[in-house]
Amino acid sequence: MKLHNFNSGPSILPQPVLEEAARAIINFNDTGLSILEIGHRTDWFQEVLNEAVTSVKQLMQLDDAYEVLFLHGGATTQFMQVPMNLLDDGETAAYCDNGIWGNKAAKEAALFGNVQVVADSSDKKHTYIQKEFNIPGNAKYLHLTSNNTVEGTQWHSYPETSVPLVADMSSDIFSRPADFKKFALIYAGAQKNMGAAGVNLVVIRKDVLGKVLRKIPTIMNYQKHIDAGSLMNTPPVFAVYVSMLTLRWIIAQGGLAEMAERNEAKSSLFYHTLDSLPLFTGTVAKEDRSQMNAVFFLKNPALEVPFLDLCKKEGMIGVKGYRTVGGVRVSMYNALPLASVQAFCDLMKQFSSKNS
């Protein structure tokens, strides 16, 4: 039976990346050593890191005003590392609370300064993106989550602001072109569109650093990591390597424009199917639907377990909704083929015809 991997993260990776990574575990680039064994300060790994950094800058069309880091800790660590580096005691940062991750980021930032939540969609259970809001003139930055994995919403255009813009792009990084130069800082856990779990991408415009008075622990200091070239301590070598391979694959496939075309085809197919079947219902505002994570429900809650059981039987992996939201969630990251979305849509139609 063919499996269809709709996991929200860690999630599906391109098959060529898996094959190359598997070979490297046994023999990395004909060195006779495993990628798991090579030293992180060797020329071998430096070449991997250099290609990963260059690929990020190429895909995002960034110049030397930006630095690219590959760090431990995942996106959750950035909830505290961002304000620790950008927000002094008594200063204010603006946050958008569009879901569980934005809410957590705001709470962490409040440990380091004043947080003003300028956009809050909790009144409708985070089923839409609030786009009209006021940013305090004294805000040091505005933070948003570009795609809300749990709730299934996504920013399809970014707000214009005179303050530095910071984004958690963990679940839609490299899924589409954007004007990445609008951002002062971008961070993303790799385990969605960019690679294996265990490494976090941080892209920083250098001019926003060095403005806080607090003493920052060395391992949390962005500038120290920049100075050390992401090698302040032993990096997650294998996770960086898989990210490099994935970035290489994205470029070889045609870059972000090609990823966007594929993702548009997948999400359009899915949402058209969803809207055509009365048995199912989506709660997210149509203009704010995520291309990466489609969240929906069965109008008759008694049918949810039978539907999920059928999904499991037919090899649809990872479609149960997040524990705090429930329902069903289909994640359609870059590496997911259109054929998997078609198979899931066919299953929805089959289930609907038998239960309507």
Three-class SS of residue 185? strand
Is 211 marked active-site?
A: no
Indicate which residue of 168, 172, 249, 266 is catalytic: 168
Cα-based angle 128, 311, 250 (whole degrees, multiple of 5): 65
Indicate which residue of 97, 101, 155, 249 is catalytic: 101
Q: How far is CA 275 from CA 90, 129, 284, in A?
A: 48, 20, 12
Is 192 marked active-site?
A: yes
- Is-contact 169 192, C-beta < 8 A? no
Measure the CA–CA gap between 149 and 152, rounded to whole angstroms. 6
Residue 189's nearest CA partner among 200, 178, 181, 202 is 200
Indicate which residue of 140, 155, 192, 288 is catalytic: 192
Is 101 marked active-site?
A: yes
Counting beta carbons within 10 angstroms of the beta carbon of residue 315, is it exposed (0 to 12), middle (13 to 18) or buried (19 or more)? middle
Measure the CA–CA gap between 12 and 305, rounded to whole angstroms. 24
Alpha helices in the chain (DSSP H): 15-26, 43-60, 74-86, 100-109, 222-227, 237-253, 255-276, 304-313, 338-355
229-233: long-range pairs with CB below 8 Å, 24+: 229/49, 230/49, 230/53, 230/69, 230/70, 230/71, 231/40, 231/41, 231/49, 233/72
**Active-site annotation, residues:** 101, 168, 192
